[in-house]
Structure 1
């Protein structure tokens, strides 16, 4: 049996189809089907149940898959280790962040890398919604900063460390609150103003469900950055990640609105994420330790 055949078997379990394996491995569907049939002949027992519309694993195939995953992971780790042994510190360290998270939380850790590994180039980029996790899974980035839910583990073999809470705030420009007292605001006051809402947070949150009121006027935008700019322009009120408006609240360009019982509690955290299938280089490990050490201190703080 060949390693590429085991990789196809693992991808078949992940994607659910020969077409999915074909697209991920850039092979024709006929080549994938033949390789899987050859693997089945090599092991000497049926790996697949072909009685249905889709190719599914047999009971013995599922048992074989567990060990195949381990072999593939070990091979990926060996490649990663070989690259690190050849080059030492990484020539580049690619870090991506979800637009709902302020990248400034990474800056202290990045400064440590600059001091310790001046030859390592740091590449920092933002991604809409949860494309950051997809980049980690596809090997297009080493570290990602994003809101985290345990269900995301079904999309890849991830390792995570907590960075901070993920807080959603109700905010509005002061110009829209003229003549109103913040402490006396009620739900019906907001109904008189447009609501600015992202079309799809893609972070396991349905804003329509967590708000306990109907909206009359809505402006939907395609990302939280645009939402913040519209809020600053006084185009309406909205629910937005606190990381994105902290500075605006401090200088009173936006005001926080607190209405008891208006919004259900959202229990999310911002995590730093990396692949568990790679061996980290020293620059990546330095950033990881920066947050894992801080997480341990917070966990044991009285």
Structure 2
């Protein structure tokens, strides 16, 4: 069976006559009639009832037409995909982000990719520690969003673009604060409360050294997303990247704890990273340019 035969069947059903199908497809009526007879022979059963003045689809013919139209839709999608691929756009763009960074920082650029390269599939993966950088180095990701230190260049030949500063907030839920008599104003008040800490994130931050807090009840989790959920569940207070809790702070689901001199200042930035050894495709380059200055 050929696509042209299915197109003729669809045109006949759409126009209701051989001449109408022929006009629509810019073919002769004889060519359409011959092609449809050949299609019936290949199908092995009658597609049309020819007992009347006009060709009418049989019940089997109706069922066949439904599937034929689905094949034609898929063929049109394949044509569209082929045209997109001819421009050199990536069939799939793999973007990795560190769990300490909010993927929403990429959403505007991803929307532009959807508009400019609709055939490119976007694959967004969250990672912990330095796995995002390792994915770039090993060719398992095209772009990565992660906290950045110059020392990370020892892990691979990277190019980076600044996205924004990496901020850490000390927060807790208002319900937890109420249980302990209000939002703490002195570090000693925190000793009575459970603390939520991410396990070592391998991004150049030693939480124990940064806070200089004596031993207390702690819950350690392996990523900042889980830490945020525990904070929202009133399980303790914690230090967490600001991008991950900005919406919760705006809604009042979390409150900031501001104690002067409580933590050592952290000077990190969030960067977009790619390999300097590979040529980026158009979709990856579009996202890259979004963060140009």
Counterpart position of 1:221: 221
User: Per-residue displacement from partner, 1:240-296 (whole Å, max 9, x unpaired)?
Assistant: 11111111111111110000010010000000000000111111111100001xxx2
Partner of 1:157: 157
Deviations 1:131-184 (A, max 9, x none): 0000000000100000000000001000000001101110011112116454x6
Partner secondary structure for residue 226 of structure 1: helix
* Cα offset, 1:87, TM superposition: 6.5
Structure 2: how far apart are the matches of 1:212 and 1:290? Answer: 39
Correspondence 1:174 to 2:174: yes
Measured in 2, the distance between the counterparts of 1:202 and 1:168 equals 15
Q: Is contact 1:99-1:128 (8 Å) kept?
A: yes
2:122 — aligned with what? 122
The residue aligned with 2:277 is 277
Report the Cα distance in structure 2 between the residues aligned to 1:197 and 1:213, rounded to whole angstroms: 12
SS of the residue 2:104 aligns to? helix
Matches within 5 A, 1:140-289: 140-178=140-178, 180-182=181-183, 185-289=185-289
SS at match of 2:235: coil
Instruction: Tell me by how many angstroms 1:117 deviates.
Output: 1.0
Unaligned runs of 5+ in 1: 1-84, 297-302
Q: Name the stretch that deviates more: 171-180 or 145-154.
A: 171-180
8 Å contact from structure 1 (residues 195, 215) kept in 2: no
Q: How many residues align?
A: 209
Contact 1:213 1:262 in 2 (8 A): no
- 1:90: how far off? 0.8
2-structure distance, mates of 1:112, 1:86: 19
Partner of 2:291, secondary structure, is helix
SS at match of 1:265: coil
CA–CA distance in structure 2, aligned partners of residues 172 and 191 of structure 1: 14
Aligned counterparts of 2:171 and 2:290: Cα–Cα separation in 1? 32
In structure 2, the gaps of 5 or more residues are 1-84
Q: TM-score, normalised by structure 2?
A: 0.69
In the TM superposition, structure 1's runs of 4+ consecutive aligned residues that sit over 6 Å from their partners are: none
Contact 1:196 1:236 in 2 (8 A): yes
2:258 match: secondary structure:
coil
Over the residues paired in the alignment, what is the CA RMSD in angstroms? 1.7
Deviation at 1:226, TM superposition (A): 1.3
Query: Following the alignment from structure 1 to structure 2, what is the Cα–Cα distance between the partners of residues 280 and 216?
Result: 48
TM-score w.r.t. structure 1 length? 0.67
* Corresponding residue of 2:12: none
CA distance in 2 between counterparts of 1:255 and 1:180 reads 14
Kept after mapping to 2: 8 A contact 1:201/1:223: yes
- Measure, in 2, the Cα distance between the counterparts of 1:180 and 1:255: 14
Per-residue deviation, residues 193-251 of structure 1 (Å, max 9, x unmatched): 01110121111100001113324211111221111111111011011111111111111
Q: Give the Cα separation in 1 of the matches to 2:115 and 2:216.
A: 53
Q: CA–CA distance in 2 between the matches of 1:172 and 1:136?
A: 35
Give the Cα–Cα distance (whole angstroms) in 2 for the partners of residues 215 and 230 of structure 1: 20
